[in-house]
Amino acid sequence: MTSPTSASPTSASRVQMHSSTALIPPPKLPEGGLRVVALGGIGEVGRNMTVFEHAGELMIVDCGVLFPEDMQPGVDLILPDFRALEQRLHDIVGLVLTHGHEDHIGAVPFLLKLRPDLPVYGSRLTLALVAAKCKEHRQNPRLVEVKEGEHHSIGVFDCEFFAVNHSIPDAVAVAIKTAAGVVLHTGDIKLDQLPLDGRLTDLAGFARLGDEGVDLFLVDSTNAEVPGFVTPEREIGPVLDNVIRKATQRVIVACFASHVHRVQQVLDVAVNHGRRVAFVGRSMVRNMGIAAELGLLNVPEGLLVDLNEAMTMPEDKVMFVSTGSQGEPLSALSRMARGEHRQISIRAGDTVVLASSLIPGNENAVFGVVNGLVRLGANVVHQGNAKVHVSGHASAGELLYLYNAVRPSNVMPVHGEWRHLRANAELAVLTGVAPERVVIAEDGVVVDLVDGQATITGRVEVGHVYVDGLSVGDVGESTLSDRLVLGEGGFISITVAVEAATGRAVAPPTISGRGFSDDPKALDQVVPLVEMELARTEAENITDSHRIAQAVRRVVGRWVADTYRRRPMIVPTVIPV
């Protein structure tokens, strides 16, 4: 086995974890102690939000969204669960944002609805992206810009910011100093030693902080299972250059709309090969506008071209930078793959590059797009056949550097599913952290730092808060479980009008199915069974609509299980007239 993560299976069984879902009200926080509770982001990848409490005040780090999976059909976004804050909204002294990705800033407008005056701290790019997001929600937040190297007192929390390297510029880590000790939160981090913008993760600063003593270290776990080191971002440039050199027709490059350095490399390659560039997709156009304005993206004069004009240019003089790298069905790239894009038709010999990760769960969608493009004759380059993507998160080797620089007393892995947290915990132990000082605390688990020791002291309720369309929270587990049943088997509805006094059916039952069968006669056989059952309920003088409905449901349910071995939802409606 090559991964250090599997080197010490026994040590991890001594780390602290509270894997029961039982709620335990935490004790009163001892004076001088610091409490940490994640309302999202631990035990999952997404909706990062960690609440720190000291001396009666609360400070929040990040406030992101989670994207739904198969078991959450129809849901647009999942928010952190704010319930634990509801009674203490006015104790919150600030929201610190580590960087501008959706899983760290996406829920900010929803938190600001509860506390419109909450000061929001972040670096320039992060705040610019938050401002754009809040504008869509017609909010005007109190933004406070921070820079690496700066100290800010946020209530009782003395915060120091450190530059870190990630897949978006201007990311920071934050050290939080209180009477309880020093906490260091990495945010999302990697240790590219040759970053494109020269802005290194401040390992020297971390080491200096480590010299002073770090009591609790919250560490990005995303790639803790991956051995070794992330390849430097700048190695993608030559690969792109090689692909574009060989292209004789149009080139389309898809990547994340916030990956400024990736786009920078695409622009540089375009310049080298005398191609002009058109941005495609609303978020790509918006974000690159912001990045250019802040001086984070260097766009040579005259390089950009409007999409309409690009369509009139020679095929080998133009390049498109597009959204849609995750196979999102409505994105520009998906439309091209289906031959449905309004402007860009893929022709045999065109080149498409997916310079992006493949987020687990998106494989079918992404490969669907790749297959569609290949079918149209495009030459498709993706991370499966060329080195056109590197991760934004530290691999195991880099995490070891972090632990050895910081030498923390206590460690709390964050930003990951259980497998990532566990792998990260084992790395901490390998560098010498005592296993019992490593705390795996999924969402809602309460960790108190008291007298220099981090301990799990309770668990508060943290559920999934779903956004579906315009409303938040009204779609819950019961609605989702109905959707799953309906999505698997459709429904059969049976409508019966009965005389209120006698329970006698006044018309034949109306039976129909949706999502059940394409065969219009599929339900014919059940009609006489329902009529027989209604005759029985009438004979037994059953007049209660609810009891009649139950009887009908039973008959139809049994019939469909025996006849089809399927489980559609059975929906009886009895109308007394």
Q: Any contact of residue 559 with a copy of itself (CB under 8 A)?
A: no
Q: Which of 384, 540, 544, 546 binds a copy of itself (CB under 8 A)?
A: 384
Q: Dihedral sign, CA of 431, 436, 441, 447? A: negative
Longest dimension (CA), the chain: 87
Residue 480 beta carbon to a copy of itself: minimum distance, rounded to whole angstroms: 8
Opening angle at CA 410, ends 407 and 412, nearest 5? 110
CB 81 within 8 A of CB 462: yes
Report CA-CA distances (Å) from 328 to 16, 205, 275, 280, 437.
39, 40, 27, 14, 42
Residue 203 beta carbon to a copy of itself: minimum distance, rounded to whole angstroms: 26
Q: Which is nearer to a copy of itself, 178 or 351 (CB)?
A: 351
Q: Which is nearer to a copy of itself, 38 or 239 (CB)?
A: 239
Q: Which of 29, 355, 534, 569 binds a copy of itself (CB under 8 A)?
A: 569
Residue 14 has what DSSP assignment? Answer: G
CB 56 within 8 A of CB 91: yes
Binding residues for a copy of itself restricted to 343-382, rule: CB under 8 A: 348-349, 351, 360-361, 363-364, 367, 370-372, 374-377, 379-381
Residue 171 beta carbon to a copy of itself: minimum distance, rounded to whole angstroms: 26
CB 421 within 8 A of CB 49: no
Give the span between the Cα atoms of 61 and 63, in whole angstroms. 7
Residue 564 beta carbon to a copy of itself: minimum distance, rounded to whole angstroms: 5
Question: Which residues are designated catalytic?
Answer: 220, 393
Q: Which is nearer to a copy of itself, 311 or 522 (CB)?
A: 522
User: From residue 23 to residue 62, what is the string marking binding to a copy of itself with x (rule CB under 8 A)?
Assistant: --------------------x-------------------
Q: Which residues does the annotation place in the binding site for Zn(2+)?
A: 74, 76, 99, 101, 103-104, 166, 188, 415
Residue 417 beta carbon to a copy of itself: minimum distance, rounded to whole angstroms: 5
Residue 511 beta carbon to a copy of itself: minimum distance, rounded to whole angstroms: 10
Q: Dihedral sign, CA of 548, 551, 557, 562? A: negative
Residues in binding contact with a copy of itself, number by CB under 8 A = 99
Q: Which residues does the annotation place in the binding site for substrate?
A: 257-259, 389-393
User: From residue 166 to residue 205, what is the string marking binding to a copy of itself with x (rule CB under 8 A)?
Assistant: ----------------------------------------
Residue 237 beta carbon to a copy of itself: minimum distance, rounded to whole angstroms: 14
CB 120 within 8 A of CB 95: yes
Q: Which is nearer to a copy of itself, 153 or 512 (CB)?
A: 512
Q: Which residues does the annotation place in the binding site?
A: 74, 76, 99, 101, 103-104, 166, 188, 257-259, 389-393, 415, 468
Paired tokens of 566: 């399927």
Q: Which of 495, 504, 529, 553 binds a copy of itself (CB under 8 A)?
A: 495
Alpha helix stretches (DSSP H) within 3-136: 102-105, 108-114, 124-136
CB 223 within 8 A of CB 230: yes
Paired tokens of 525: 């056989």
Q: Which of 483, 504, 547, 553 binds a copy of itself (CB under 8 A)?
A: 483
**Strand 410-414 to 216-220 pairing:** parallel
CB 280 within 8 A of CB 323: yes
CA 49 to chain centre: 12
Alpha helix stretches (DSSP H) within 347-389: 363-375
CA 148 to chain centre: 26
Binding residues for a copy of itself restricted to 511-530, rule: CB under 8 A: 512, 514-519, 522
Q: Which is nearer to a copy of itself, 13 or 312 (CB)?
A: 13
Name 161's bridge partners: 174
Q: Which of 497, 527, 553, 559 binds a copy of itself (CB under 8 A)?
A: 497
